[in-house]
Structure 1
Amino acid sequence: MYAEERQQAMAQLVAERGRLSVNALSERYDVTTETVRRDLSALERMGLVRRVHGGAVPASTLAVIESGLLERDQANTPQKERIAKAALDLLPPAGSTVLLDAGSTTNRFASMLPRDHRLVVLTHAVPIAARLASHAQVELHLLPGRVRSTTQAAVGADTVAALERLRADVVFLGTNGVTTEHGLSTPDPDEAAVKRAMVHSARQVVVLADASKVGVESPVRFASLAEVDVLVTDTGIDADDEQELVDAGVEVVSA
């Protein structure tokens, strides 16, 4: 079977089944998982499927659903705890300035900040600010903007403008999706604008994302992999995905 014929068959099968994994497609068409991934990328560029973690779904049925903070906080909890703990090793020296993005994993990370390590912390996330407000070792700055109820984070022109005036040593960033083709992405354009400004304001970019985010693409890209220094994830990351990220120049830490 030629590549074009295989890809056409894959697209039709995904449309019929609703969702298929990379492994299932590999077995059905007797090709490697790497070949399947390339086929799915080609089909996605043609608008026939959308890649999701571990496989693909029909492009026509993939709705953009942004889960709320409480729902996300309850998903993959053990992995997020390990990721947050591992990220502590990436804290800059005492007296440094860090940016903390909104998100369930970054919130856990904030709760683990050592009480004997002095930091200047800037965040647009209301839950993180509330958590750190009483920490004596933290000089806390809450960024301005309109607070979204979904993420409980400030967004908008005022938030972006404030970030453009700042320079941080490290940003600890969340994301809804990570792929080599699309980079880091999120569903909401306002959230994406703030995340993009955070990336540009920091000397080092550290992404905290559990393995379920790797291989997923959300509509709005806010950073390329070339702008990412470290990805802290969990041991559930697919070996092929991890190698692709490493080949793209990202240091991957699996907790």
Structure 2
Amino acid sequence: MLTTQRKQLILQRLAHEGQIVAKALSDEWGISEDTVRRDLRELAAEGKLQRVHGGALPASAAVGDLRVRQELAPDEKRLLGRAGAAMVRPGQVVILDGGTTSLQVVQHLPLDLRATVVTHSPVVAAALAGHAHIEVLSLGGRLYRHSMVNVGASVVEAAERLRADLFLMGVTGVHAEAGLTTGDFEEATVKRVLHRRAAETVVLASLDKLGAASPFTVAPLKELAALVVPATAPRRIQKELRATGINVFLAD
């Protein structure tokens, strides 16, 4: 079997089964594990999968910058934004992550809502300007332009002083085994701290993030209060996620 054929079959199987086990594939195809691992390395370098110990998982498609991601699945994100906004109660302290879905949350918050929103996203902070009764606390640091969020020690230090009711967190990967992941080390660090400082963390995840993984771990799924996904999420993935014991809600 030619290398290009093997790689095509690997990607097809990954799409169908959601994971690749290198040893099982080498036994099935009668080739060495080294050959399989080399194929996986090369596919990972092309951004087509995420390598993990013993094999590979689907790579997250949510890797473009904020401008690119604004064009992806806008209808899904509107539904998720509406669902997220409905979870915010008057008087709460809510941490709102960066990202396009968070911007949809802002658009669905009632204009008369009285609450405090903490964010490390200058874009989200600016979007809240029209909500006159929401106090906005912006965590400053080094601007990570890819996601348009602030990261670094100053963000972490400020976050450690918070006690929030709810964190609406964004990630690029939601996988039953790999958990919650994202594509940048510093951004993952900030998300972990914000998660620890909230009584409850909820993830709003569009379809391109489900069953996928990115390089840096944020938290295991079991630590979530809830995961909100589009109602059109494949039943196989819904079943795998619910098998972890987390509450999965459908946005429609």
Q: Where on the TM-score scale, by shorter chain, does this alignment land: which range?
A: 0.7 to 0.9
Q: Percent identity?
A: 32
Distance in 2 of aligned mates of 1:12 and 1:75: 29
Given candidates 125, 130, 137, the residue that maps to 1:129 is 125
Verify: 1:90 aligned to 2:76, yes or no: no
Structure 1, residues 12-42: CA drift from partner, whole Å, max 9, x if none? 9642546215576xxxxxxxxxxx45xx353
Deviations 1:106-146 (A, max 9, x none): 11111211112211000001111001123211000000110
Paired positions, count: 225
Alpha-carbon distance in 1 for matches of 2:237, 2:143: 34
Amino acid corresponding to residue 74 of structure 1 in structure 2: E
**Given the two structures, how large is their TM-score scaled by the length of structure 1?**
0.80
Q: CA RMSD in A?
A: 2.6
Q: Tell me, yes or no, if the aligned pair for 1:211 and 1:235 is still in contact at 8 Å.
A: no
Q: 1:62 aligns with which of 44, 52, 55?
A: 44
Q: Which amino acid aligns with 1:182?
A: A
* Misfit runs of 4+, over 6 Å: 44-47
**d(CA) in 1 for partners of 2:182, 2:103:** 17
Q: Give the structure 2 partner of residue 20 of structure 1.
A: 12
Q: Which of the residues 143, 168, 186 maps onto 2:139? A: 143
TM-score, normalised to structure 2's length?
0.81
Residue pairs, 1:68-87, within 5 angstroms: 68-87=65-84
Q: Which residue of 2 aligns with 1:160?
A: 156
Q: Which residue of 2 aligns with 1:216?
A: 212
Amino acid at match of 2:11: R
Matched, 1:111 2:113: no
Structure 1 unaligned segments of length 5 or more: list them.
1-8, 25-35, 50-56
Say whether the 8 Å CA contact 2:171–2:203 is kept in structure 1: yes
Q: Counterpart in 2 of 1:32?
A: none
User: Structure 2: any 5+ residue segments left out of the alignment?
Assistant: 25-32, 48-60
Match of 1:198 among 194, 198, 201: 194
